[in-house]
Amino acid sequence: MAKTEILIIEDEEDIRELVRYNLERENFTVSEAESGEAGLKAVARKKPDLILLDLMLPGKDGLQICRELKQNAEVRDIPVVMMTAKGEESDIVTGLELGAEDYIVKPFSPKVMVARIKAVLRRKTGAEAPVETDVLTIQGIVIHPGRHEVMVGGKPVDLTATEFGILHFLARRPGWVFTRYQIVDAVHGADYPVTERSVDVQIVGLRKKLKKAGDNIETVRGIGYRFKDME
């Protein structure tokens, strides 16, 4: 089997070396690009399995590169993991909305980086998100999209259409962080227009009704929400 190839786009040599060292130890093939422009060329040439993209780059910045990658039908399916500095939540939000799959915040531990990369690759090659009409059972929560019904521990939970929509959306992709905008976009058309701010209110209500099972809906500070990943 061909080795999994990871392209790192980062202008700082130290970080490229750190990433290369740790990924090669895990038996990945690593290639490097020192700028966004070089990265775009490398992506087109190599079609790597995953792109590790720094957001702070000279010339075209990481968000611009992410935008170009996700607008290009030939490469848009290659998962992008952003690398960001602390305090760049708004960039992370923008990147996720542009289609990046995940992010890691610098300074990161190599272990965390490797785990994130493996998780993204697993999601990509593993089961795709269930079809919208499939009954979904996750962490003891049973979601019946057809009936708009949710059961926890065998007991029905009375949710509004919007709460149901948000729960179903998050639970279909455990481990993925979604921004408020992405959640609004996904569940629009429910019982009333959802705004980004009202997502927070809906989540509070949802957690309350789900009781203990509501702990599965995690807040990712400054970014949005996710359904807890199953380990």
Smallest distance, Ca ion to C-beta of residue 212, A: 42
Tell whether residue 102 is a contact of Ca ion (CB under 5 A): no
Rounded Cα distance, 74 and 57, in Å: 23
Tell whether residue 32 is a contact of Ca ion (CB under 5 A): no
Rounded Cα distance, 142 and 164, in Å: 12
Stretch that binds Ca ion, among 3-11, 69-77, 97-105, 189-197 (CB under 5 A): 3-11
Tell whether residue 163 is a contact of Ca ion (CB under 5 A): no
Q: Which amino acid is at 14?
A: D
Stretch that binds Ca ion, among 53-61, 87-95, 157-165, 212-220 (CB under 5 A): 53-61
What separation in angstroms does the CA of 137 have from each of 134, 151, 153, 154? 10, 9, 11, 11
Cα dihedral 135→137→141→143 (10° resolution) = -10
Tell whether residue 54 is a contact of Ca ion (CB under 5 A): yes
Q: Print burial letters for 76-90: b (CB count within 10 Å at least 16), e (below 16).
A: eebbbbbbbeeebbe
Quick note: the x/- pattern for Ca ion over 4-23, rule CB under 5 A, is -------xx-----------
Q: Which of 56, 75, 142, 152 contacts Ca ion by CB under 5 A? A: 56
Q: Which residues contact 14 (CB under 8 A, 6 or more apart)?
A: none
Q: Report DSSP state, residue 1.
A: -
Please tell me the count of residues contacting Ca ion according to CB under 5 A.
4
- Closer by beta carbon to Ca ion, 33 or else 184: 33
Tell whether residue 114 is a contact of Ca ion (CB under 5 A): no
Stretch that binds Ca ion, among 27-35, 55-63, 165-173, 176-184 (CB under 5 A): 55-63
Rounded Cα distance, 64 and 62, in Å: 5
Smallest distance, Ca ion to C-beta of residue 54, A: 4
Residues that bind Ca ion (CB under 5 A): 11-12, 54, 56
